Amino acid sequence: IVGLAKALQLRQADREIQSDKLISFRDHLIDQVLQKIPDSRLTGHPTKRLPNHASFVFKGVDGNALLMTLDLAGFACSSGSACKTGNPEPSEVLVALGIPTQWALGSLRVSLGIHTTFEEIEAFVNHLPGLIEQNRSLVASDLQNQVIDE
Enumerate the active-site residues: 83
Question: How many C-beta atoms surround the C-beta of residue 66 within 10 A?
Answer: 24
- Do the strands 107-111 and 53-58 form a parallel or antiparallel pair, or are they unpaired? antiparallel
Burial zone of 129 (CB within 10 Å; 0-12 exposed, 13-18 middle, 19+ buried): middle
Burial zone of 119 (CB within 10 Å; 0-12 exposed, 13-18 middle, 19+ buried): exposed
The answer to whether the beta carbons of residues 58 and 40 sit under 8 Å apart is yes
